[in-house]
Amino acid sequence: MGSAFSGQLREAHATARERANELSDWDAWIDGRSVESDATLETIDPAVNEPIATVARCDAADVETAVGAAENAFDAEWSGSTPRERSRALSEWADRLRDHVEELAFLECLDTGKPRSQARGEVEGAIDTLEYYASLCRVQDGRQIATGDDLHLYTRTEPYGVVGQIVPWNFPIWAAAWKLGPALATGNATVIKPAADCPLTTIRIAELSEGILPDGALNVVPGTGSEVGAAITAHEDVRKLSFTGSVGVGTEVMKTAADTLTPVTLELGGKSPFLVFPDADLESAVEAVANGIFYSTGEICDAFSRALVHEDVHAEFVDRFVEAAESHVLGDPLAEETTMGPLTSRAQYETVSDYVERGTDEGATLLTGGGPPDEEALRDGWFFEPTVFGDVDNGMTIAREEIFGPVQTIDTFSSYEEAIELANDTRFGLAAGIGTERTDIAHGAAADLEAGVVYVNEYGPILPEAPYGGFKASGIGTDLGTEVLEHYQRTKSVYVNLDEPDC
């Protein structure tokens, strides 16, 4: 039965890869058209470890071309467009993408390995984000500052020009929309680099902007971080940078940007705690933590990877949580019944495996999972079981470093003060969660936790209306919300003297 299912899985994915290659040649998208590159890279289907497509591998020369196209579009048309015109263009683009939801969800599922239902939700979230910034185009304005009768003082906001954007491999289409929406809404032209592992949906949504956005307003340059990412970051005509990824790479982006005094927005890693207080509804708490660590196979920056549970409810929480972890259905991400797909790459599979080994070596108790599933049919892909560690001390490596996989640690606390101290004892500060039925604890902990996003009694949702960003090593600035518009605009004060000129 195992080998038969394995054959069916491979056959289904072979067909899926053929379909993916019928949709596009997977070239760069520069100046409103597909552009071939001299070199190529392969994106890999993580469910069966087979190549999906051959994708353009751009280099510094391609980045130069893309930046030039963006400058031309900005100078010739886009910067002078009215907020109403930009709103209409973004709305029309979002409408076209909505007509292709299933196609985009299929590509995201195939490229990342996340279950199709999750991929579909993220595609819809990306479109919702673009629609949100289309609506915000029309409410942008400056302000008038009260002064004396002889002076008219006001502010105006202006786009930077060409912005460089680098998106991660775990949420390719959604993260791209987070960056493209506000950048384009404020009148900038963009050069965006998708992750080398998962570039397909970013290329495809750019192709679907043809005839809607001005040529050159949106440019996609796939390739490696060392070639394309470095070239974008160091380019003197890129006036603003936005990066989502690891702390290490984000630090290098910031250092390079300092040479040209380019402002940066960084959304980096996390090691997010979820605090389960003794009054919490344990069913809701277990569901929140499980969603926060096993969604997208744990490859999420704000994953609730640290459960901190009050000692009075610890035993019951552990029993319930292990049951929840073991209830996940690992399988073909293209199948609707699958609730957990493979990790996105072999490198990430090896990283997660190494952390699990370190956890057991350092004395944590492996309660469930810890390796690949037993099903022979899944052995060719990068599948990893939902994994739970008990008896975890906050000083252990698995409690301190971002694993980026379906690995949960569980620790205990005895008082509110200890819970907050344990939660904040990390260099990260992206997100945190609170399980409680008491409003005083909910609001008090939300204030005391060092995190940019706090969820109470659930994981998510992430809505475009609210800013999303972290504290400490989790980043600088925010994505989403109205606040992000400020990151893509410069503010100018204008003093108009109204007294008679001295001729």
Amino acid at 320: R
CA distance 95 to 205: 12
Amino acid at 2: G
CA distance 263 to 299: 28
Residue 217 CB burial class (10 angstroms; 0-12, 13-18, ≥19)? buried
Q: Which of 109, 137, 198, 301 is catalytic?
A: 301
Nearest to 342, CA basis, from 387, 297, 388, 286: 297
301 an active-site residue?
yes
Q: Rounded to 5, what percent of the chain is helix, strand, coil?
A: 45, 20, 35
Nearest to 275, CA basis, from 455, 21, 72, 486: 455
Return the axis-axis angle of helices 439-448 and 416-424, rounded to nearest 10°: 30
CA distance 245 to 165: 11
Q: Where are the alpha helices (DSSP H) in 24-74?
A: 60-73
Collect all residues with Cβ–Cβ distance below 8 Å to 331 and sequence separation of at least 6: 337, 338, 341, 378
* HEC string for 86-115: HHHHHHHHHHHHHCCHHHHHHHHHHHHCCC
Rg, the chain, Cα only: 24
Collect all residues with Cβ–Cβ distance below 8 Å to 95 and sequence separation of at least 6: none
- Name the maximum alpha-carbon separation found in the chain: 95
Beta-bridge partners for 163: 190, 240
Q: Which of 122, 131, 267, 385 is catalytic?
A: 267
267 an active-site residue?
yes
Per the CB < 8 A criterion, the answer to whether 149 and 491 are in contact is: no
Nearest to 164, CA basis, from 62, 237, 81: 237
Q: Distance from first CA to last CA of the chain, Å, rounded?
A: 95
What is the total residue count of the chain? 503
Q: Which residues are designated catalytic?
A: 267, 301
